[in-house]
Structure 1
Amino acid sequence: MAPERTIVVGGGLAGLSAGHTLLERGKSVLLLDKKPALGGNSVKASSGINGAETEAQRALEIDDTVQAFYTDTFASAGSDLARPALITALTSNSAAAIAWLTDTFGVDLSVVSRLGGHAAPRTHRDKSGAPGWAITSALMKKLTALAEAENPRVEIIKSARVVRLLEDGGAVVGVEYELLAGDIVSARGDVILATGGYAADSSPTGLLAQHRPELLALPTTNADHATGDGLLLATAVSAGTCDLDQVQVHPTGFVDPANPDAKTKFLAAEALRGAGGLLLDAHGKRFVKEVERRDVVTAAMQKAEGPVRLVLGARAAGEVKKHCDFYVSKGLMKRYADAAAFAEDVGIPLESILAAFAGYGAVGDPFSSNSSDSVNTPPAPYTATEPLHVAIITPVVHYTMGGLTVDASARVLSSKPTNTDTPLPIPGLYAAGEVIGGVHGRNRLAGSSLLEAVVFGRIAGGAGEV
């Protein structure tokens, strides 16, 4: 008998994690992606993946616990929107998720940093400075190799847009998808939706327009595929949704001097601030703790007089050298020989910049932080004579916390009322990654998007088994 086949919709990290997990369990997989290449937004993630009580933390003698990670995530979500079961699933499986990536796919996640909203260093990345690509490409390459092997149990079809979920007796039993030539094809099996969020949906009738119209004017970091397809497919079969008005505006998107009005912007990784980068307003003054939660930093930036600049001194830039080299090569970041050269170029009084440098990490610093990419080191000192890396930044629509309602087993829940007021799962339908809602509440912590993709992808691929 042929192994049971599951249909995975979406080829980002959540879909890839689900696909590999299904194969590990002896299942057969059909993976569909509407774009001509796999990877989604996952390949662009630049800060890392969170994990508590990991081998890398132990090697670096970092004191952290799953409970502390849970507490930070709960606080970030807000007590009114935090969902303990989903947060528990995310945090308690974090170390296993990282071990799976390192042991099964050979991904280097040995660099650990502390980012905004975290009580301890727990955001893991590789030494290349491109953790999203390192993780996602490793899973892509292995799944592609398995699909090209003799008698494969996985089939990958790209440029295949799912247009409908098939139902039978209230259960989801397959999909219809449209190929590039316009042909409509049916496939049968359980379905895992891993289609991403809706942060690139700027259409006048789209989800952002319906729930957060004031954000339509902001640029986004999302690729054009992030238009909420999975939400529309699932709600058409009576799936429930939650928190659709909860959209994360990331504080630091690069303003490209060559195209300052571009709607899509490149993300300035939170790792830059975690390494000791400073935020300066138009007058060269700091105005917020740089590694505060994203929502807090964004709110402060929107009140500050711009342009707001991200400034990294020699030690901070050294911590994230490959990031900086890449951004400089793209024209998004500029190098200066020293503070005087920076001040002269941008028209800020040198004394203002030096005052900001002198106050960083000093006694009484109102924006003090002990965070750095180098574990257990104080903030990087800034001097008048060291070279600087500088970029103009702006808030960007980055991530949608809302999505499909799921339980801790990644089962999509129905919106239909029940006698007990407890929503029931829709048989045959699972979801993982940014398409699901409720995991992050009001605010997602840096490093938890890749984690959500892996953890819930693994849970969905294991039919609820962790």
Structure 2
Amino acid sequence: MPLPRRSRVVSFLFIAILAYIGVLVKRKFMSPPRVIVVGGGLAGLSAAHTVLQNGASVLLLDKMKSLGGNSVKASSGINGAGTPAQAAKSIVDSVDDFIKDTTASAGSLARPNLISALASNSASSLEWLGQLGIDLSQVTRLGGHTIPRTHRGNGGPPGWAITSALFKKLDTEEKATVVKSATVTKLLEADGKVVGVEYAVDGSVQRAEGPVILATGGYAADFSSSGFLSQYRPELLSVPTTNGGHATGDGLKLSVALSTPAALVDMDQIQVHPTGFVDPSDTSSQTKFLAAEALRGVGGILLNGTGERFVNEVERRDFVTARMQEVIAAGHGPVRLVLNKDAADELAAHIGFYVSKGLMQRVEGIKELASVTGLDESTLSKTFEAHLRYANKEEADPFGKVYFSNPKFDSNGQFLVATMTPVVHYTMGGLSVDELARVLHADGTPISGLYAGGEVIGGVHGQNRLGGSSLLEAVVFGRLAGHAAVEGK
């Protein structure tokens, strides 16, 4: 016989109250799970610190002997929209403006949910880094941005500054265990969930249980015959790379080996950065050092083999790369990057490093510049004079440049010069994730217990990544993954 209506209501309320009490008891008395983070670059470090800040413990595994990954090499900065640093310089920016620029760059592969997550969490991510004592007070404009929003400090390259601060702090955390030279060989599964990892260290195989965050980076150094580059972009196997040898798509391989594999997206979308240094002492090296986009952001210009400009230096990376490749293919190279003293002074720490490595050369006056490059002095003079006219709005730049910084090249002043070549730099493809950094199956459902952040994920940047968004992606999605893993989302 059914209960009277009033009794049913009371029963329902009683059950609801018991359930609520159960949740409170669980939160108060049950320890959060230990979270396993695979990869010690900026995404992994951001995830690890977020896990700790949410009361859980963390096991961080990295296959290298030292932490940092490719993040330590990042030299242009980290994007943020609507930050105090921008306000201090009277720069008006917004999340909507950042979304528009990122969407335009991503083209037909733009994914609004991921772009929104990236942009809307940008200012808070920079604030979080600032709370750790990281200086991000300087702001510049990189290619594809309509507003200056790429932040860096007054010291050395921002990638090193940020990652070193995070792994030094991690060393002080009692609830953090870091194991280096540890190669994860398998994701453990139970009842359709990822419940841990199997890894090899010091010749032994070990297991660790807990939710897993993958932060293993991309596949831009996966040159094996069966690797992702061979599978998706074989023509890039002969192009130099800026990536360390660790960037071999490990997290992707682990995830597609699951009983129900994770989905991969945009795997053919690989960014060829326009400016890698050609080391005069080793011109044929397959690995090149990146010439930071900030060098062009502060006013560096690109010249062809006759000393003339051929592109808007602060256009999107894919556009500048295409123009450079056309120049080189037509036999009109080499391509050189030239900065004046004012531009070089803005990036003094970068320039000092590049010069010390023999990648850039200081010269005094246009005569010496012509002498060391073999370029015609009168052609160089005409190029510099025209560039200043465009900057002063006396004429329109034939290449469409409207944002100029330090545009005056004094014929008697100091110049910095280096030879450039396009380089495989960043893989926009990777694991399919949602806006909470949960790894997805092909049908769009989350894989319980598996999260990811940084270059291992795909879909955030679409067809092209804007400069300054790699470090941001690492922090934003690393933090999102840390939150989701602790909360069991």
**Aligned twin of 2:457:** 436
Taking the aligned partners of 1:200 and 1:386, their CA distance within structure 2 comes to 40
**Aligned twin of 2:70:** 41
Cα deviation, residue 370, structure 1: 4.5
**Aligned twin of 1:242:** 265
Q: Which runs of 5+ in 1 are unaligned?
A: 147-151, 373-377, 416-421
Cα deviation, residue 454, structure 1: 0.2
**Aligned twin of 1:202:** 223
**Aligned twin of 1:303:** 326
**Aligned twin of 2:13:** none
For 2:120, the aligned partner's letter is S
Q: For each residue in 1:330-357, what CA deviation from the matched residue of structure 2 results, as whole angstroms up to 9, or x when unmatched? A: 0000111111111122211111111110
- More helix by proportion, 1 or 2? 2
**Aligned twin of 1:327:** 354
Taking the aligned partners of 1:269 and 1:252, their CA distance within structure 2 comes to 7
Determine if the alignment matches structure 1 residue 18 to structure 2 residue 47.
yes
For 1:400, the aligned partner's letter is T
For 1:153, the aligned partner's letter is K
Q: For each residue in 1:106-143, what CA deviation from the matched residue of structure 2 results, as whole angstroms up to 9, or x when unmatched? A: 00000000000001000000111410001111101000
> Considering only aligned residues, what root-mean-square deviation do their CA atoms show, in Å?
1.3
Q: Contact conserved, 2:137 with 2:151, CA < 8 A, in 1?
A: yes
TM, length-normalised to structure 2: 0.90
Distance 1:310 1:357, change over 3 A: same
For 2:462, the aligned partner's letter is G
**Aligned twin of 2:282:** 259
| Of 370, 392, 397, the match for 1:365 | 397
**Aligned twin of 1:162:** 184
- SS for the counterpart of 1:332 is coil
| Of 425, 449, 453, the match for 2:446 | 425
Please show how residues 145-224 of structure 1 align to structure 2 within 5 Å: 145-146=172-173, 152-179=174-201, 181-224=202-245
| Of 69, 74, 80, the match for 2:103 | 74
For 1:315, the aligned partner's letter is D
| Of 344, 362, 369, the match for 1:317 | 344
Q: Which runs of 5+ in 2 are unaligned?
A: 1-29, 390-394
Q: Contact conserved, 1:307 with 1:393, CA < 8 A, in 2?
A: yes
Q: For each residue in 1:264-294, what CA deviation from the matched residue of structure 2 results, as whole angstroms up to 9, or x when unmatched? A: 1100000000000010000000000000000
Taking the aligned partners of 2:66 and 2:406, their CA distance within structure 1 comes to 40
**Aligned twin of 2:60:** 31
Taking the aligned partners of 1:245 and 1:144, their CA distance within structure 2 comes to 38
Taking the aligned partners of 1:40 and 1:397, their CA distance within structure 2 comes to 16
**Aligned twin of 2:482:** 461
Cα deviation, residue 367, structure 1: 3.2
**Aligned twin of 2:116:** 88
Taking the aligned partners of 2:137 and 2:60, their CA distance within structure 1 comes to 30
Taking the aligned partners of 2:54 and 2:31, their CA distance within structure 1 comes to 14
Determine if the alignment matches structure 1 residue 64 to structure 2 residue 93.
yes
Q: Which runs of 4+ in 1 moved over 6 A?
A: none
Cα deviation, residue 379, structure 1: 4.2
For 1:271, the aligned partner's letter is A
**What count of residue pairs does the alignment treat as equivalent?**
447
Taking the aligned partners of 1:423 and 1:63, their CA distance within structure 2 comes to 37
For 1:285, the aligned partner's letter is E
Cα deviation, residue 371, structure 1: 3.5
- SS for the counterpart of 2:109 is coil
- SS for the counterpart of 2:484 is coil
Taking the aligned partners of 1:121 and 1:2, their CA distance within structure 2 comes to 44
Taking the aligned partners of 1:134 and 1:369, their CA distance within structure 2 comes to 31
For 1:9, the aligned partner's letter is V
Cα deviation, residue 368, structure 1: 5.2
For 1:349, the aligned partner's letter is D
- SS for the counterpart of 1:360 is helix
- SS for the counterpart of 1:16 is helix
- SS for the counterpart of 1:458 is helix
Flag the structure with larger Rg: 2
**Aligned twin of 1:375:** none
Q: Contact conserved, 1:51 with 1:98, CA < 8 A, in 2?
A: yes
TM, length-normalised to structure 1: 0.94
Cα deviation, residue 3, structure 1: 3.9
- SS for the counterpart of 2:185 is strand
Once the two structures are overlaid, the 10-residue window that deviates more, 253-262 or 315-324, is: 315-324
Q: Contact conserved, 1:172 with 1:426, CA < 8 A, in 2?
A: yes
Q: For each residue in 1:403-451, what CA deviation from the matched residue of structure 2 results, as whole angstroms up to 9, or x when unmatched? A: 0000000000012xxxxxx411000000000000000000000000000
Taking the aligned partners of 1:72 and 1:215, their CA distance within structure 2 comes to 27
Q: Contact conserved, 2:342 with 2:406, CA < 8 A, in 1?
A: no
For 1:65, the aligned partner's letter is S
Determine if the alignment matches structure 1 residue 413 to structure 2 residue 440.
yes
- SS for the counterpart of 1:162 is strand
Cα deviation, residue 383, structure 1: 1.9
Cα deviation, residue 22, structure 1: 0.5
